[in-house]
Structure 1
Amino acid sequence: METALTALVGVRHPIVQTGMGWVAGPRLVSAAARAGALGILASATMTPEQLRAAVREVKSRTDAPFGVNLRADAGDAAERVRLIVEEGVRVASFALAPSRELIARLKDAGVVVIPSVGARRHAEKVAAWGADAVIVQGGEGGGHTGDVATTVLLPQVVDAVDIPVVAAGGFLDGRGLVAALSYGAAGIAMGTRFLLTSDSTVPDPVKARYLAAGVKDITVTTAVDGLPHRMLRTELVTALERSGRAGALLRAVRHAAAFRKLSGLSWSRMVRDGLAMKHGRDLSWSQVLLAANTPVLLKASMVEGRTDLGVMASGQVAGVIEDLPSCAELVGRVMAEAESVLARLEQLHGSGTLPPAG
């Protein structure tokens, strides 16, 4: 299936595996890339040295195109951009809108720039600055998310920009791919669905917790870092929502110390990053600290298997996922189902059941 996305990045199928912290490492990314999707490494939880090693590991496993997700507001964003240019990475994606200067630097080096956005105005801004495509995440998506459903947000963005739009938030199968294409998207991006594969390194007990969850077990809370964050409801989430300001600050300082040790960042650097997050937002200092060290909370679950102490970011689709296929099986299944749906629609159209387009 050829779309504007496959033509832009050189993959076989219009599917993106998103850059999830502690999840989208070399094993998952290379498996997704070999399956014909666009795999994206998550770099926010890596030092620059670890990122370089991860990029080289993916390249040793596959010659298919892949990308790296970057934090546009990170203090070392320019260094990481230089790294992916040096390593010949095909795609740079961003969790927040990158600056005009970062986009220009990447495009000058031949890197495809695909920011993720959650609002029409953000898509318009990065398109005007030269982004090659955008990933648009509706409120159903996991992690930091908005409150506008994909079915409402996606057509707005498709109508507003003239670059390829990739739909994210609520996708897990071929029916969703066809639905996104019908809205004018060039493909779909999936996080939770790729997390729940046999190629994902997430511990089995954590995967089991996801598989056992129903749709109503997935919540949006601001208690973790002050921003709307979709995740499984866990003991930690409940405790954070019930704790007072003093308890939240104490917990945030403890996690911040752990993140500093893990990342090698100085306290001054963490404060600068925290101030960047606080800018323009009504966040308490405990929320700023939590925002700066949310990776530690994710690591507790996604790496250490501590479902009682960690955060498990999750799209709503976790409530209807029931198995753990390999990436190859998943992508093959999605594409086969999409072709079947398209054939059925064509049959309906040919029989006159559907009116002619236009």
Structure 2
Amino acid sequence: MTDLAADHQALHTRACDLFGVKYPIVQTGMGYVSNSTLTAATAAAGGLGIIAGGMLAYEELAEAIAEVQAQTDNPFGVNLRADQADIDKRIDLLIRSGVKVASFALAPKQALIGRLKDAGLVVVPSIGARRHAEKVASWGVDAVIVQGGEGGGHTGAVPTSLLLPQVVDAVDIPVIAAGGYFDGRGLVSALSYGAAGIAMGTRFMMTSDSPVAKQVKDVYLSKSVNDTVVTLEIDGVPQRVLRAGTIDQLESTTGPGRMIRAGRNALAFQKLSGTPWRDMIREGLAMKKSHELGWSQVVMAANAPMLYRSALVDGRVDVGVMATGQVVGLIEDVPSCSELINRIVAEANSVLARLSA
């Protein structure tokens, strides 16, 4: 185990104090992956675990929060979607439950940020451009997660090595670097740019505490850094995913076939989640407006929940879609969260000692 007394002072950052954690390492809120078990394991190991609340019904989210709190007293976070119809109710739940951090894939409105901060929560949106960081910083967020183009899921085109210093120079709040991180060397490199820590998705998904099935993890282990693709065909917004499963079929399907498949998936997701049609339509309209999507892209967005669920929950790697960062090609094992975090910290200490010498 890593001994706090032996850790280099550079590893205790503003993020550690802000989140109340031992190490500046964040496990991102990945849909269908970041459940209570993974979040609690990360928190117990000294990092910041984040529950993926966007794909959970309200009752499921309340249960997940209670399960994490039953497993650890350490702080953790919940990732929310600001455009959800019941967002106010979910925020009340976080406040009432004493959750430490509220994270967002899309920045919430300024009034929502103020409400969370007034209740004592730390607000951390994810951003992919300097101008977005400047905007949310002016709204009063406490920190930002900056994801470069190497990252998995929804991503931009600018690599972390260029985006991170841009954002660090533009804002005076803690910046958490994401996209391409998996070890202690990466943590030190992020700190050298001025970041206050790193956030990892794919690396935490590839742990023994992750709920993803072994056969899915085996597919990830078999891939190289060249086995990912950025596609618009899932929900109309660029996403980096594994070149596996149905992605080639998705990219080759045209007009009518694409719309029919999207409609079927929307129906399946509505039945599975119990989400009222009016809420799905409202969310679709909000997505169309915020991302300037066409109607065909809005319909395509209905694919996303079912495609991810097929692979990550049902283990159907042949028909599902699997988000991943390019870092997948550098991951060679499936440790526990405790083993992973201690390994990263030990390696970071070693690198810092070597540089100091």
Q: Normalized against structure 1, the TM-score is what? A: 0.95
The gaps in structure 2 that reach 5 residues or longer are 1-10
Shift of 1:83: 1.0
Deviation digits for residues 244-289 of structure 1 (CA, Å, limit 9, x no counterpart): 1101100100110011112211222211111111115453434213
RMSD over aligned Cα atoms = 1.0
Does the aligned pair in 2 maintain the 1:255–1:290 contact within 8 Å?
no
Cα–Cα, structure 1 residues 62 and 254, in superposed 2: closer, same or farther, change >3 Å?
same
For 2:86 and 2:304, the matched residues in 1 are separated by: 18
Cα–Cα, structure 1 residues 280 and 114, in superposed 2: closer, same or farther, change >3 Å?
closer
Cα–Cα, structure 1 residues 110 and 292, in superposed 2: closer, same or farther, change >3 Å?
farther
For 2:88 and 2:137, the matched residues in 1 are separated by: 20
Aligned counterpart in structure 2 of residue 294 of structure 1, from 304, 314, 327: 304
- Counterpart amino acid of residue 293 in structure 2: L
Match of 1:219 in 2: 229
Match of 2:258 in 1: 248
The gaps in structure 1 that reach 5 residues or longer are 348-358
Q: Does 1:118 align with 2:142?
A: no
Q: Matches of residues 1-358 of structure 1 in structure 2 within 5 Å?
A: 1-347=11-357
Shift of 1:293: 4.7
For 1:336 and 1:289, the matched residues in 2 are separated by: 47
Deviation digits for residues 179-222 of structure 1 (CA, Å, limit 9, x no counterpart): 00000000000000000001111000000000001111111111
For residue 309 of structure 1, give the secondary structure of its aligned residue in structure 2. Answer: coil
For 2:339 and 2:20, the matched residues in 1 are separated by: 20
For residue 172 of structure 2, give the secondary structure of its aligned residue in structure 1. Answer: coil
Shift of 1:103: 0.4
Does the aligned pair in 2 maintain the 1:253–1:286 contact within 8 Å?
no
For residue 198 of structure 1, give the secondary structure of its aligned residue in structure 2. Answer: coil
- Counterpart amino acid of residue 138 in structure 1: G
- Counterpart amino acid of residue 77 in structure 1: I
Does the aligned pair in 2 maintain the 1:270–1:292 contact within 8 Å?
no
For 1:100 and 1:292, the matched residues in 2 are separated by: 28
Q: Normalized against structure 2, the TM-score is what? A: 0.95
For residue 249 of structure 1, give the secondary structure of its aligned residue in structure 2. Answer: helix
Identity of aligned residues (%): 61
Does the aligned pair in 1 maintain the 2:233–2:300 contact within 8 Å?
no
Aligned length: 347
Does the aligned pair in 2 maintain the 1:252–1:286 contact within 8 Å?
no
